[in-house]
Amino acid sequence: MWGMNLKTFFAVLLLGSLTGCSFKKNVLYLYNWADYIPQEILERFEKETGITVVCDAYESEEVAETNLYMSSNHDVVILTVWPSFARAVKSKLLSPIDYSLVPNAKGLDKKWTEKLEDIDPENRYGVIYLFGSVGLGVNVKAVKESLGSIPRTWGLIFDPLYAKKLTEQRIYCLDTAKDVFQAALLYMGKDPCSQNFSDWTQAYELVRKVRPLIARFENGSQEANLLDEQACLIQAHSDVAMTAKERGQQMNPKKNVNFVIPKEGVMMTGDVMTIPLRAQHKQNAHIFINFILRPENMAFISNRLKSANAVKASLTFLDPELLQDPNIFPNEQTMPLMKQDFLPSLPLLRHIYELWLKLKQEG
């Protein structure tokens, strides 16, 4: 929960007090990214169970973590695996999942659940929801016009031979220190989960050299930037780039946006469903998690949000184009490129943020 300001602090206190006002039996308080569970799924759940879902949305990982630490009376909280879930497990803020109440969890693919066991042994505190990666969102026409092809490399950002040719069409990166520096580490062939301060300093030096070629650092308008052709290349979350691809084709069949996993690798992203210690409706929380894991429901969510899930039986219900895209559902070629994230030590985290602040000030 780094970088909390007074506005965030009081917003969380207010949210906690409002959420704690009601202890109705047939209710479930859900805390989640905005629109991260389709409304149709929530309506199905309410109709089938008679349990009313009350949704609160957060705008950042920091706000979600702060709520957990200080005042959460939510029953189900969707948390980003790295770092939010990892810190919540370490801080003992979560209630254990009673898997006897979540029989659909038996359908989860172990190749994904095992990836969480380094931070959550036996998946005791979290149930995987969706996963993706941070790669490159590409305006295919613009990049091909400049380069003749689309090399699958982070060098499109970090190699001036490529980046200089793309500056007129504009390159955008995420406005997140860890995401940008990890991409640089991958490009250099270094461990993106290194606890070595000097590796992160080298990543900073690489980004600093190409800083004049990066038009903007931002998180909020990735999809719009691709669709409106504000940028030809963006560092992007896979679900955002794939949603932009679909909407672009709906707008104009000739509009070609794609998501690319660079050959040097990408960082995995993922979210888990958790039950806070102070949840008032834990029975309802287990019912909800089990409902979400139903194969047809999980497939509906994946199809809508353009993200992969770990429920094996859901594959039957997935859009074939989504299922067959190795950038979303990794195959033998792309799976080795998916790198697990990590929880930096507090001193390293300070070092990373100091480098990021220095980079932004120099820009």
Secondary structure, 3-state, 42-99: HHHHHHHHCCEEEEEEECCHHHHHHHHHHCCCCCEEEEEHHHHHHHHHHCCCECCCCH
The C-alpha atoms of residue 294 and residue 195 are separated, in whole angstroms, by: 39
pLDDT value at 13 more than 70: no
Task: For residues 282 and 27, give the distance between their C-alpha atoms in angstroms, rounded to a whole number.
Answer: 11
Query: CB 103: neighbour CB atoms within 10 A?
Result: 10
Q: State the pLDDT at residue 24.
A: 64
CATH 3.40.190.10 boundaries in the chain: 6-131+268-334, 133-267+342-362
Q: How large is the average pLDDT for residues 163-189?
A: 96
Looking at residue 362, its pLDDT comes to 87
Distance separating alpha carbons of residues 144 and 261, to the nearest angstrom: 17
* In the chain, % of residues over pLDDT 70: 93
pLDDT at residue 137, rounded to an integer: 96
First to last CA, the chain: 26
Give the C-alpha separation, 87 to 326, whole Å: 30
| 6-131+268-334 CATH pick, 3.90.850.10, 3.40.190.10, 3.20.20.80, 3.40.50.2020 | 3.40.190.10
Out of 8-17, 190-199, 309-318, least confident range: 8-17
Task: Choose among 114, 107, 87, 233: nearest CA to 162.
Answer: 233
pLDDT tens readout for residues 216-251: 999 878 888 888 888 999 999 999 999 999 888 888
Report pLDDT digits (tens) over 265-297.
999 999 999 999 999 999 999 999 999 999 999
Q: Averaged over 86-96, what is the pLDDT?
A: 96
Tell me the residue ranges of DSSP E strands in the chain. Answer: 27-33, 52-58, 76-80, 127-139, 171-173, 216-217, 233-237, 257-260, 266-274, 338-339
Is the distance from CB of 230 to CB of 257 less than 8 angstroms?
no
pLDDT tens string 107-133:
999 989 998 999 999 999 999 999 999
pLDDT (0 to 100) of residue 5: 46
pLDDT reading at 316 higher than 90: yes
pLDDT at 18: 42
**Residue 1: pLDDT band with limits 50, 70, 90:** very low
The CATH number of the structural domain formed by 133-267+342-362 is 3.40.190.10
Amino acid 251: pLDDT: 87
Mean pLDDT computed over every residue of the chain? 91
220-224: list long-range contacts, CB under 8 Å, 24+ apart: 222/137, 222/172, 223/247
pTM flag (> 0.95) = no
Q: How far apart are CA 271 and CA 285, in angstroms?
A: 16
Residue with tokens 């909280």: 77
Looking at the predicted structure, is the pLDDT value of residue 146 above 60?
yes
